[in-house]
Amino acid sequence: MVKVFVAGHNGMVGSAICRQLKNNKHVSLITAERSELDLIDQREVFDFFAKNKIDQVYLAAAKVGGIHANNAYPAEFIYENLMVQGNVIHAAFLNKVKNLLFLGSSCIYPKFANQPIREDALLTGLLESSNEPYAISKIAGIKLCESYNRQYGELHGIDYRSVMPTNLYGPGDSYHTENSHVIPALLRRFHEAKEKAVETVSIWGTGTSRREFLYVDDIAAACIHVMNLDKRVYERCTSPMLSHINVGFGEDITIAELAALIAKVVGFTGDIDYDCTKPDGTPQKLIDSSKINNLGWSPTIGLKKGLEMTYKYFLKVNDYDCR
């Protein structure tokens, strides 16, 4: 029996990983509520690892949010994410955890990186300013994993890996009015506009920026796939100081096209207005997922189907509150 700790099990990605791991009879799943384990508290994290004798870790815990949240709380985004990552990765090493998977974000890449963005674009240019603190914390997470592998991998047999997902959506997301990501924000806005018979919905930016989206169950499957790859296979497609792997859908869409699709899924028939005084963010962000595709994983859920499932979940739980 493999004892697997999912850090961030209540989050969108962590809960999806847990749903899939629960189907594996060879896995003993370990989780902890925030009231039981504060991942920012080093002593609590170290004691938790020492007590539970963990074999594998999925590090999905993170402070996340959209453009507004990143602009409003930059200190919280960089501090909390750095502390969580440092505590979990170091505690894993001290307690002889051999396998760890760190979940980053495609925002680690330069704002004007060539499209689609390959893994080797990391640290080749300036980041998008609106989420730079979050991006830097995620880059640090990659480098933590690489550094522990380089210094202790051969001697202690540790194997810490990183995946960089594109923009994610699905059940378990936050629908906060200001701090959520683009899909849950638009889904809630169109839903409330339909319910109140509002004629026009206003959206930040010009609508011309392009984004790629991946359903959360697909990233969960990718994480489990990467975690369980033979080490020799993983090392053949990575290098000691460029060890992360992109995970994306393989296609992008403009924000205007996304808004129209969400409006259709929700049933909103009014007008969509674009507030050009608000930022667009990075012009395009499409990642190159050829490495993980060549390693045997590919997405299974298209955007329209994923949005329909997400909206169905939204109606079921009526989850308006930010976690």
Q: Residue 124 pLDDT > 60, yes or no?
A: yes
- The pLDDT of residue 62 is 94
Question: What are the CA-CA distances from residue 55 to residues 95, 102, 111, 171 (Å)?
Answer: 9, 15, 37, 28
What are the tens digits of pLDDT across the range 228-238? 999 999 999 99
Mean pLDDT of 51-59: 98
Residue 16 has pLDDT above 80, yes or no: yes
Catalytic residue among 109, 134, 169, 215: 134
Q: What contacts 125, CB < 8 A, 6 or more positions away?
A: 110, 111, 112, 113
In the predicted structure, residue 177 carries a pLDDT above the cut 80:
no
Q: Tell me what percent of the residues of the chain surpass a pLDDT of 70.
A: 97
Give catalytic status of residue 134 as yes or no: yes
If one looks up domain 2-172+213-250+286-301 in CATH, what number appears? Answer: 3.40.50.720
- Mean pLDDT over residues 295-304, rounded? 98
The identity of residue 77, as a single letter, is: F
Mean pLDDT of the chain: 94
pLDDT at 71 over 90: no
Residue % of the chain over a pLDDT of 90: 85
**Is residue 167's pLDDT more than 80?**
yes
Say which residue, 19 or 322, is predicted with more confidence. 19
Long-range own/partner contacts, residues 224-227 (CB < 8 A, 24 or more apart): 224/17, 224/20, 224/21, 225/292, 225/295, 225/296, 225/297, 226/101, 226/161, 226/163, 226/292, 226/295, 226/297, 227/56, 227/58, 227/99, 227/101, 227/161
Mean pLDDT across 279-306: 94
Q: Say how far apart CA 47 and CA 50 lie, in whole Å.
A: 5
What pLDDT digit, counting tens, does each position of 130-140 carry?
889 999 999 99
Break the chain into its structural domains and give their ranges: 2-172+213-250+286-301
- Bigger pLDDT: 323 vs 40: 40
pLDDT band at residue 323 using 50, 70 and 90 as cut-offs: very low
**Are the C-beta atoms of 84 and 44 separated by less than 8 Å?**
no
Question: Using 50, 70 and 90 to split pLDDT, how confident is the model at 204?
Answer: confident
Q: What is the pLDDT of residue 322?
A: 38
CA 107 – CA 141 distance, rounded (Å): 13
Does the pLDDT of residue 84 top 50, yes or no?
yes
The crossing angle, in degrees rounded to 10, of helices 42-52 and 74-94 is 30
Return the pLDDT at 318.
66
For residue 151, the model assigns a pLDDT of: 97
Which one is predicted more confidently, 150 or 68?
Answer: 150
